[in-house]
Amino acid sequence: MAKKYPPQHFLNRELGLLEFNRRVLAQAENPDIPPLERLKYLCIVSSNLDEFFEIRVAGLKEQVKLGAVASGPDGLDAAQILRRVRDQAHQIIERQYQIFNKDIVPTLAIAGVHFLRRTHWNEVQSAWVKDFFLREVMPVLTPIGLDPSHPFPRVLNKSLNFAVELNGKDAFGRNSAMAIVQAPRVLPRAIKMPVEISGYEHGFVFLSSILHAHVGELFSGMEVLGCHQFRVTRNSDLFVDEEEVKNLRISLQGELPQRHFGDAVRLEVADNCSPEMAEFLLQQFDLKPDDLYRVHGPVNLVRLMRIPDEVDREDLKFPPFVPGMPPALQKKGADMFKLIRKGDVLLHQPYQSFRPVIDFIQQAASDPQVVSIKQTVYRTGADSAIMEALVAAAQTGKEVTVVVELLARFDEEANINWASRLEQAGAHVVYGVVGHKTHAKMLMVIRREDGKLRRYVHLATGNYHPRTAKLYTDFGLFTCNEEMCSDVNQVFVQLTGLGKASKLSHLWQSPFTLHSQILRAIQNETKLAKAGKNAQIIAKMNALLEPEVIMALYEASRAGVKIDLIVRGVCTLRPGVPGLSENITVRSIIGRFLEHTRIFYFRNDLAHDVYLSSADWMDRNFFRRIEVCFPLLDGKLKKRVIDEGLKVYLQDNCQAWEMDSNGGWHLKTTRSTALKCAQSILLETLASKPSLSIDGI
């Protein structure tokens, strides 16, 4: 039976996620940020909200449908949460389009980047648009007239569609009043118009505008009375009964196509859509008026994320940088194994290069002394030099074992494809443990040296994904410490074989010891504080939700432990409540890079314990995932993590948001003229200058 906690001690998870998106939206509002980057933030909010509706709102609607009355730690049931979520989401989306139309679009226009609206096209532009429609758009369109033999079509999740109102009879004498046209996904949502046609260096026209202007070409001889763009968001949480399936990969391959056709959870329409058409569409998708979102502009801002890549204007983007490289690794072709034998190596992405990780795997793949490579894969991308190296290693006869997480949300297809290629190359591919996602980031290489086998490992807070290594902040550790390597080996044995969990020397592991060890470390600081000693906890993570850990933090605060939490996303702990959490502060850093590091610091009577982890403090990470949390054993590297991963963030007075006891967030302000931006400081101290370019990732 689940433990009951005082609901007044907890904030709501879903509302916390929406608050996170408000903080991201504030970046789009910030005039100090380059305008194309502001557009990106706007797109990120749309992408985040898509997933929020696809997973979180879809889950709430399922609970309501099933009549569930159970509540979370905050005491709210699904129906109550859903009502509050809708109110907040409507506000966020309305503000998002205000920023787009009244701020970002005019700002970009002043800078020479124009979105050419249909009502402002001149004769030459109109002719170009018509030609483009006839050549590139019309051949791939399939209009579907609605009549008894053509019912309302199955509309793909998040696709751009048009409901067209018609008058007249078609070639067969049918008097259909409506048709549905789905925009082809192969076309971008904003098309760049030639300079000589647009009159601007960078002129774009929306695909929706092109279709609006020429949709009549699809219905020869009929009158178009109205054309309304719409987009439906569907439940995208895959259901695979892992207890019943015999082959998870085959079952998942069968389930993936259904993601496009789950139950509808949200309908977006342009603000000029008639009430009658909106009501008709709501009925088709079995949605309520509260599920309707009217927007003033394109219904899919996510697809505008490509625009900054098509505009070659460095002055409208963040200044470029080259990830730095530790001095010992700057020499091209440096022997990674020799360097690791000299001492542990720590990399801090994206300020430092991800290249050494790729070099390590590529060297292992080609080194005749390497006999075995083992790696976990959660997210890696469709195009990955790391995965190619593993394939090459398997083809040359090395023992390659890859634990591929097939249920990594929205990366399932890429992971299935890599699993197939690895198996074809002769690698051992396993899918972890039923009911537990493998989220740990581990890589182990076994090498024969002087007649003996030596193990080398890489442990990280982030995925083996070269693209996100440029965008996410993460730490990665190389070591050949025998006890650490033995721990990693034991975890791999658990993942690939059968047997009871072994006691590990250094690693804390979910679902076995991580939760209890975190609690023990918090309780130890509580004990020290009660004994009159200085006690301190600093923890940085993406999310803080697990009730028992939160209650332990409250108890530590009551005892006098100073607790600083740096939580990027959702936090359900209430800070600053007298008698409960007055010694706890919660802050969030929202900047150029996505904060992704998980760092746990415990003062421990001046032992200064520092751990890095793949896990947030959430129920799923503690109990339903395979996670690892590893210590920094080298004193210099421990200090680096404290300085680079914690202290600089606690000193930030530019991009830091502070949380109040009601879950509200406020941008930290300062009267000091000495502005301290954590990410800028780290770029300045760790990254290279573009002129000193190293082949960095």
Distance CA 580, CA 573 (A): 11
The reply to whether 542 falls in a domain is yes
Max CA separation in the chain (angstroms) = 90
Q: Domain boundary residue among 268, 289, 316?
A: 316
The reply to whether 259 falls in a domain is yes
**Are residue 347 and residue 485 in the same domain, yes or no?**
yes
Q: Domain boundary residue among 266, 288, 316?
A: 316
The mean-pLDDT minimum among 71-75, 265-269, 316-320, 341-345 falls in 71-75
Q: What are the Cα distances from residue 155, in Å, to 50, 151, 162, 163, 293?
A: 16, 12, 11, 11, 17
**Are residue 564 and residue 419 in the same domain, yes or no?**
no
Q: Which residues are catalytic?
A: 439
Q: What's the pLDDT at 691? A: 37
For residue 660, which of 596, 585, 598 has the smallest C-alpha distance? 585
Q: What CATH number should be reported for the domain holding residue 312?
A: 3.30.1840.10
Q: What are the Cα distances from residue 644, in Å, to 337, 459, 614, 681?
A: 26, 18, 18, 9
Q: What's the pLDDT at 2? A: 52
HSE of 594, CA atoms in CB hemisphere, 13 A = 18
pLDDT per position as a tens digit, 179-204? 999 998 888 889 999 999 999 999 99
Exposure pattern of 112-147 as b/e (b: 16+ CB <10 Å)? Answer: ebbbbeeeebeeebeebbeebbeeebeeebebbbbe
- What percent of the chain is predicted at pLDDT more than 70? 91
The reply to whether 533 falls in a domain is yes
**Are residue 309 and residue 426 in the same domain, yes or no?**
no
The reply to whether 173 falls in a domain is yes
Q: What's the pLDDT at 241? A: 42
Q: What's the pLDDT at 253? A: 46
**Are residue 528 and residue 441 in the same domain, yes or no?**
no
**Are residue 514 and residue 500 in the same domain, yes or no?**
no
Q: What are the Cα distances from residue 277, in Å, to 209, 270, 362?
A: 19, 11, 57
Q: What's the pLDDT at 149? A: 58
The reply to whether 391 falls in a domain is yes
**Are residue 187 and residue 267 in the same domain, yes or no?**
yes
The number of domains in the chain is 3
**Are residue 288 and residue 397 in the same domain, yes or no?**
no
Let me know the angle formed at the C-alpha of 423 by 420 and 428, rounded to the nearest 5 degrees: 130
Q: At what angle do helices 78-99 and 13-29 cross, to 10 degrees?
A: 0
Strands annotated E in 590-684: 594-595, 599-602, 609-613, 625-631, 656-659, 665-667
**Are residue 378 and residue 296 in the same domain, yes or no?**
no
Q: What's the pLDDT at 172? A: 56
Does position 251 have pLDDT exceeding 50, yes or no? no
- Tell me the average pLDDT across 357-384: 90
Q: What's the pLDDT at 692? A: 35
- The pLDDT mean for the chain works out to 90
HSE of 219, CA atoms in CB hemisphere, 13 A = 33
Per DSSP, the three-state class of 200 is: coil
Contact call for residues 617 and 586 (beta carbons, < 8 A) = no
**Are residue 504 and residue 523 in the same domain, yes or no?**
no
Q: Please provide residue 36's backbone torsions phi and psi, each rounded to the nearest 5 degrees.
A: -70, -30
The reply to whether 1 falls in a domain is no
Does position 240 have pLDDT exceeding 80, yes or no? no
Q: What's the pLDDT at 405? A: 79
- What percent of the chain is predicted at pLDDT more than 90? 74
**Are residue 299 and residue 427 in the same domain, yes or no?**
no
Q: For the chain, first and last CA: distance in Å?
A: 48
Q: What CATH number should be reported for the domain holding residue 581?
A: 3.30.870.10
Q: Domain boundary residue among 316, 350, 381?
A: 316
**Are residue 106 and residue 255 in the same domain, yes or no?**
yes
Q: What's the pLDDT at 379? A: 77
**Are residue 441 and residue 563 in the same domain, yes or no?**
no
Question: Residue 65 CB: number of other CB atoms within 10 A?
Answer: 10
The reply to whether 664 falls in a domain is yes
The whole domain housing 262 covers: 7-316
- Tell me the average pLDDT across 539-559: 98
- Tell me the average pLDDT across 427-446: 87
The reply to whether 322 falls in a domain is no
The mean-pLDDT minimum among 102-106, 373-377, 458-462 falls in 373-377
- Cis geometry, peptide bond prior to residue 511 (ω within 30 degrees of 0): yes
Q: Please provide residue 290's backbone torsions phi and psi, each rounded to the nearest 5 degrees.
A: -65, -20
pLDDT per position as a tens digit, 454-474? 999 999 999 888 888 999 999
